[in-house]
Homo-oligomer: A and B are copies of this chain.
Amino acid sequence: MKAVSERKQQITSTAERLFNQKGYLATSVRDLAEALGIEAASLYSHVQSKEELLWSIADRCADEFFDAVRPIAESNLHTQQKLTEMIVAHVMVITRNQDASAVFFREWKHLSEPQKSQYAQRQSDYEGIFKAVIRKGMEENLFKNFDEGFSARTILSAINWTHTWYRPDGEWTARQVGEHLSGFLLNGLIRTI
């Protein structure tokens, strides 16, 4: 755990907001400085480059997803309950890091190597956590025999998109959104009784 100055924190959260609103490439260092009320050159006392900011946002966001979901995957909850709680935890990470997760999902393409490869590796590892739980559920004859990669991607696609429409001041809490999504994805839209 590295200590981070208050100023650096302020820069990072402003960058998250602007990178989300306008996109990474469309946000100039001058835009960022203006939003902070300083000159562009002053930023370089806190940050090595614009890309370092992108990387630090993406990397911290990945940590948040792993830290929230891995303990649940490693718990001894019943498989169905486990997958539900993983989905809820994932959605809660998104909703409390809405700007950062939007940047995480949309702007990683603009990282340079080797960061881009490292990002892809973590993304794949994360998907692997979901795949393992889904495979377990299939082995237990609890889940249908869809391809496990297909299933994991379909679930993650549906829940990742919450970053575009969730509003903290709306009628649903983050947990409610996660539980609705989990109910929808595990049981389907069709009424069975």
Q: Which residues of A contact B (CB under 8 A)?
A: 22-23, 25-26, 80, 106, 109-110, 134, 137, 141-144, 146, 150-151, 153-155, 157-158, 160-161, 165, 180-181, 184-192
Copies in the assembly, this chain = 2
Bound: A165/B120 CA distance, A: 14
- Also in contact, A190 and B80, with CB within 8 A (given A146-B184, A181-B154, A184-B151): yes
Asked if residues B187 and A188 are in contact (CB atoms below 8 Å), the reply is yes
A-side binding surface: helix, strand, loop or mixed? helix
Query: A22 to chain B: which residues have CB within 8 Å?
Result: 109
**Cα separation A191 to B143 with both chains bound (whole Å):** 5
Q: Which residues of B contact A160 (CB under 8 A)?
A: 157, 161
* A25 cross-chain contacts in B, Cβ below 8 A: 23, 25-26
For residue A146, which residues in chain B have a CB less than 8 angstroms away from its CB? Answer: 180, 184, 189
A23 to chain B, nearest CB (A): 6
Nearest chain B CB to A105 CB, angstrom units? 10
What's the Cα separation between A23 and B187 when bound, in Å? 37
